[in-house]
A and B are shown apart, each in its own frame.
Chain A
């Protein structure tokens, strides 16, 4: 029951509270005073706001915001966090610079960090040619780094050497270099077919034939070996395996004999710091085709530069 008032407002009998004068579907809103702590809470938020404006950047200016007496900025915080992260990386990098690459596998924690760092560096510096999964490209002639076929050796030390010195870098004496002569105009069409067929026979894809065998023995054995086993010392590819960098059809092989393609890779020394190069070596080695250290160490062609 309510009492009518001159201004349309009523006093609710049950509670003795005045209504605000609105009615929705018979429900009226009582004009109950708010609790005072509510007001305090409002005042507190105002105080909080003022304090915040004083302490932190708040008012936008043309190219920045007001500084705030604490001098805090989100950029500053980011820079601080980045430098902390850098600091954490520094120790790993220093350790990496100091350790000879062939000793790296003994320190499995460092190795793991190197692989992780190498994975990131690979994406930045190497994926343009070798692909983000390091699978290379047969059409473009970039080698797949996941497999177990290595032109120049696949243990950590050999990979590291390749990374440091690059492939066929004209201004570097220590670079990996090999030269397959072009045979264009040397063989007639029949000889070329016979030779291609014979080369493919090493991996069971073609038929061995006496003409091809003779030409092979005269021209190719010196680098690729009598049975096509290749020679890592001079970067001569194996011909008796299933992996063909430039393709394994007769046309692919014939073209490679006439006008050989030979890849290049930058020498990363000087472009990347020694720690990063070691990380890249560790990562490439970890892709699954990495080889154990064997007697390769005795090979004079694989001399690892240990300068930090």
Chain B
């Protein structure tokens, strides 16, 4: 460990005395402890029904996991803020934004894919894949989603860096918190909260970009011409971002988020967790004490570095707990300490409970990646992959032409003056391509029948009608089908053929009603 860090090992005075540790399970004096187990007996009423949050001033740390966390943070934020600005040329009849949720027209554009409301199963499929993806990750590496990619974590991390940038690292922040209000504190708080607000505003601002053409929206937004919904959304998201990321932070993970509760059911003794190897660390004791009593003191020197760097302010040495988001910053911290005192790294490490137990009983450590490959994760991955493949297949084979037919039921058929029988239908012709296409509606079967539409006269009746359906839209058309006098009730079909380079056809069976044959 580098020199400037050294005095901080005892910086908080968390451990002022080096009392002998009374038992192997004696709880350490962690900063989060609410009651010391050995304090004098209290009255039987708890002294407080409600308890204020203890601000977490987590300490800066560097290490492989911290660097990975930086990386994930940059990538996720870049995706979030950048995606709406990617352009995608779809021709003159569709928007140029690569990812766009067009609520007004009920379309969802994602690069080369355009999704109509009736194709929403693609979005449902994506959500299922996201769900199964979380199963895979959780069963393999526990709450890695929480530790690195969850928006709450990413923004909390961002805000914690803001704290560090404005107020300094842990010790300075603690001091400032305790200090009375003065010009320095006011100035720093004002600066910090302003930065919070700016981040919150950008967060809300980026969100609305997904729902309208981004450059136009930015322009309208600043001129005060955007839809009220845009301003309201930005205001709400600014507020929630600052509240949840700036002030609530770990409380969201501990009290509000349902995911930790579900995750406990998804993990087992073979899932990787950030684990403190108590069999190796206990009993805790300083390096000096270890020298005095060789073999009697564990590897943990009780420096509380692992507690100080924790973004949720917990003590991992208490065992697996709901507050731990598996961010592994404590691993980075403890590995540094171990290097400092010349002991092997990995006192806190990613390990499965099973491996941990085996190691405690003298087995050789197993590489962590082995935990990733096991029937459960492989099964989840196969499910995940097959959903993905099925969706890709459906996507590649979906038709951009669709015909639906609703026969009139009141009355079901009509006798015409020349004795012929007429049925009426409401047809919906759907052109899901982003350009207008000429289409042909035709009768298949029903010999001798002809049809005409409500925009034609009966004199023009034919077996096929040609119609141009505008880009990306549904055209409703009433069709009157007349069959010769002796036609009996039967089924037949309408076909819809989109002309053009790629001929697409859809076909819908329907019924032709006729009077019961008499005599």
Do A and B pair up? The answer is yes
Instruction: Give A contacts to B, CB under 8 Å.
Output: 5-7, 9, 11, 13-18, 31-39, 108, 131-133, 135, 144, 146-149, 238, 241-243, 286, 288-289, 292
Question: Are B34 and A17 in contact, with the CB atoms below 8 A?
Answer: yes
Other-chain contact of B36, A5, A16, A37 (Cβ < 8 Å): A16
Question: Are B418 and A33 in contact, with the CB atoms below 8 A?
Answer: no
Considering only residues 8-39 of chain B, those with a C-beta below 8 Å from chain A are 27, 33-37, 39
Question: Are B411 and A36 in contact, with the CB atoms below 8 A?
Answer: no
User: How many whole Å from A145's CB to the nearest CB in chain B?
Assistant: 10
Cα A147 to Cα B44 with chains together (Å): 90
CB-CB < 8 A to A13: which residues of B? 37
CB-defined A-B contacts under 8 Å, sample of 15? A13-B37, A16-B33, A16-B36, A33-B46, A35-B52, A36-B52, A37-B53, A108-B455, A146-B414, A238-B417, A241-B418, A242-B415, A243-B415, A286-B478, A292-B459
Question: Are A18 and B414 in contact, with the CB atoms below 8 A?
Answer: no
Given contacts A35-B51, A35-B251, A131-B410, 18 further A-B contacts (CB under 8 A): A7-B44, A15-B34, A16-B36, A16-B39, A18-B35, A18-B44, A18-B46, A31-B46, A35-B53, A133-B410, A133-B411, A146-B422, A147-B415, A148-B458, A241-B419, A242-B415, A242-B416, A242-B419
Known: A31-B46, A33-B51, A34-B51. A144 touches B27 (CB 8 A): no
Q: Identify whether the interface residues of A are mostly helix, strand, loop, or mixed.
A: loop
Nearest first, the 4 A-B pairs at minimum CB distance are A133-B410, A241-B417, A135-B411, A16-B35
B89 contacts partner chain A, Cβ-Cβ < 8 Å: no
B480 contacts partner chain A, Cβ-Cβ < 8 Å: yes
CB-CB < 8 A to B411: which residues of A? 131, 133, 135, 144, 146
CB-CB < 8 A to A9: which residues of B? 44
User: How many whole Å from A77's CB to the nearest CB in chain B?
Assistant: 18
Other-chain contact of B408, A15, A31, A36, A133 (Cβ < 8 Å): A133
Q: In the complex, which residue of chain A has the Cβ closest to the Cβ of B485?
A: A242
CB-CB < 8 A to B53: which residues of A? 35-37
B457 contacts partner chain A, Cβ-Cβ < 8 Å: yes
CB-CB < 8 A to B408: which residues of A? 133
B304 contacts partner chain A, Cβ-Cβ < 8 Å: no
B48 contacts partner chain A, Cβ-Cβ < 8 Å: yes
Q: Which of A34, A38, A146, A289 gathers most chain B CB within 10 Å?
A: A146
Per-position 1/0 for B26-69, Cβ under 8 A of A: 01000001111101001010101111110000000000000000
Question: Are A132 and B414 in contact, with the CB atoms below 8 A?
Answer: no
Cα A146 to Cα B415 with chains together (Å): 9
CB-CB < 8 A to A15: which residues of B? 34-35
Per-position 1/0 for B293-313, Cβ under 8 A of A: 000000000000000000000
Known: A17-B35, A288-B480. A147 touches B414 (CB 8 A): yes
Question: Are A36 and B50 in contact, with the CB atoms below 8 A?
Answer: yes
Question: Are B49 and A288 in contact, with the CB atoms below 8 A?
Answer: no
Cα A135 to Cα B251 with chains together (Å): 68
User: How many whole Å from B455's CB to the nearest CB in chain A?
Assistant: 7
Question: Are A35 and B44 in contact, with the CB atoms below 8 A?
Answer: no
CB-CB < 8 A to B255: which residues of A? 35, 38
Question: Are B50 and A33 in contact, with the CB atoms below 8 A?
Answer: yes
Per-position 1/0 for B224-239, Cβ under 8 A of A: 0000000000000000
Considering only residues 428-470 of chain B, those with a C-beta below 8 Å from chain A are 454-455, 457-459
Q: In the complex, which residue of chain A has the Cβ closest to the Cβ of B39?
A: A16
Cα A123 to Cα B49 with chains together (Å): 66
